[in-house]
Amino acid sequence: MRAKKLLAATMAAVMTLSLAACGGSGSSESTEAAKEKVYKIGICQALEHPALDAATKGFKEACEEKFGKDKVEFEVKSAQGEQTMCTTIINNFVSSEKDLILANATQPLQVAAQATSTIPILGTSVTDFGTALGIDDWKGTTGVNISGTSDLAPIDQQEDMLKELLPDAKKVGILFCSAESNSRYQAELFEEALKEDGIEYKEYTVADSNDIQSVTTTAASECDALYIPTDNTMADNTANVKNICLPKKVPVIAGEEGICKGCGIATLSISYYDLGYRAGEMAYDVLVGGKDISSMPVETAPKVTKKYNKEICDDLGIKIPDDYEAIEAE
């Protein structure tokens, strides 16, 4: 009997420590102590891009408002699209015992998930957490030290946009980087929508930026229109896509506003600033409010907006309905 009691006490202690590692139990004493602490947060951004930059900005501003500017310190690093650099950054965050890690985009999220099971991790600008983390039976929460905000816009509505603006398109090319699992996830959803409407499609994938010139040229030669999902590799090379597609009069429907601004005609836009801001609020809930991150649902953008690229639409002679907003030129 004494052995059983000892085992029970030991298990209770382990469970208490586990809860603390995932953000605390939320007792009033721990919450008061948390408010006096200066929190150190590591931010790993996959690469420098307007959408990801906006998410980082929103996260930092939310944290400064919630914690207080003097109560939070950030270390912001860009992996510049490199897996090795991303791993180095995340490992440094872990070894320096950051209080929380913000993983801005899928690659940093995957690396952080492998690097630590105790430091709270918030992902943002991640399309599908289930795919990114290899969770087959996705229910909206991870069950581990991870939560965050997803940038997945309604794919079926993006396909509706293509039909609305390009009713004569007979064959659609789906262009994305094969190394980005979330891009494939979006591509498959878009293909399902096209299949339901009887529209022919074909995938065109690049392994990295070196393939974009040749693959995009082939896609633009074989298709009436292209769809590019939210994809970091393509987002970093929109000028190349535009220089190929525009002379061939091949319109591009984009998965997000940054890609649309560079080479697309229209997109169903979300605010990456808002996604990052909400992740910042979640960071406060975990570190100060004591919420269990493992049971916090991953959240999506509260609203979407139809937007179009006026310059490219004018060049292609595409008429845009009144319920679309023009993307502001820089």
Q: pLDDT band for position 330 (50/70/90)?
A: low
Query: What's the pLDDT at 328?
Result: 84
Which tens digits make up the pLDDT trace of 180-226? 888 999 999 999 999 999 999 999 999 999 999 999 999 999 999 99
Which tens digits make up the pLDDT trace of 257-298? 999 999 999 999 889 999 999 999 999 999 999 999 999 999
Q: pLDDT band for position 227 (50/70/90)?
A: very high
pLDDT at 7 over 60: no
- Show the tokens assigned to 202: 């074909």
pLDDT at 63 over 80: yes
Which tens digits make up the pLDDT trace of 64-120? 999 999 999 999 999 999 999 999 999 999 999 999 999 999 999 999 999 999 999
Q: pLDDT band for position 30 (50/70/90)?
A: low
Query: What's the pLDDT at 2?
Result: 37
Query: What's the pLDDT at 86?
Result: 98
* Mean pLDDT rounded to a whole number for the chain: 90
Q: Which of 17-21, 71-75, 103-107, 234-238 has the lowest mean pLDDT?
A: 17-21
